[in-house]
Structure 1
Amino acid sequence: MSDRFFLYDDTENTKTRFVSFVGENQRYDLAIVQSDRHYGKFLVLNMQGNRYAIIGPDDLAEEGYLEYAFQISDAEAEELKSFLTEML
């Protein structure tokens, strides 16, 4: 077995918020992780769809980002964007 070459191996305290809500189009079960790792952005995990993204206010303003990252429709992305805009 060869030696592993780590790029990094850090331990960090994080704050995680678990939230579930029902929109017009879908149910959302999210884990929102806040840490210093991503320069003020949040790690948002969609536990229903098994997808995640690193999201900040600039990402929410980018057209098509949530649709691509979470593989959801435009209507679903609008619901998620509305929630995340209030939360972030």
Structure 2
Amino acid sequence: MSERFFLYDDAVESKTRFVSFLGQRQRFDLAIVQTDRFYGKYLVLDMQGNRFAIIGQDDLEEPGYLEHAYQLSEEDADDLRSFLFEVI
């Protein structure tokens, strides 16, 4: 068997927040991970939808970003965006 070639193998400190809240039409179960790895952005995991994205303030202001990343309707994305603006 050939030797494994790693592109990187880092262990980093992180802070994780687990939060669940109800939007107007759906429930959100999120894990929000803060680390130095993503240049000040957060790794936001949607545990119900099995989707994730690296998100910063600039991404929240980008039209259609959350809709695409999490496969949400505009209304549901607005609920998520409103919450993330408070915590990111």
How would you bin the TM-score normalised by the shorter chain? over 0.9
Matched, 1:77 2:50: no
Give unpaired runs (5+ residues) of structure 1: none
Inter-partner Cα distance in structure 2 for 1:19 and 1:77: 16
Q: Does 1:37 find its partner at 2:32?
A: no
Task: Compute the displacement of 1:42 (Å).
Answer: 0.1
Give the equivalent residue in structure 2 for 1:86: 86
Please give the alpha-carbon distance, in whole angstroms, between the structure 1 residues aligned to 2:40 and 2:27: 26
CA shift, 1:57, in A, is: 0.2
The share of aligned pairs that are identical, in percent, is: 67
Structure with the greater relative contact order (CA < 8 A, sep ≥ 6): 1 or 2? 2
- What root-mean-square deviation, in Å, do the aligned CA atoms of Structure 1 and Structure 2 show? 0.5
- Length-normalised TM-score, structure 1: 0.98
Structure 2 counterpart of 1:12: 12
Task: Spell out structure 1 runs of 4+ moving beyond 6 A.
Answer: none
Within 5 A, what are the aligned runs for 1:44-59?
A: 44-59=44-59
Q: CA deviation at 1:62?
A: 0.4
Alignment TM-score, normalising by the size of structure 2: 0.98
Describe the SS at the equivalent of 2:37. coil
SS at structure 1 position matched to 2:38: coil
Structure 2: 5+ residue stretches without partners: none
How many residues align structurally?
88
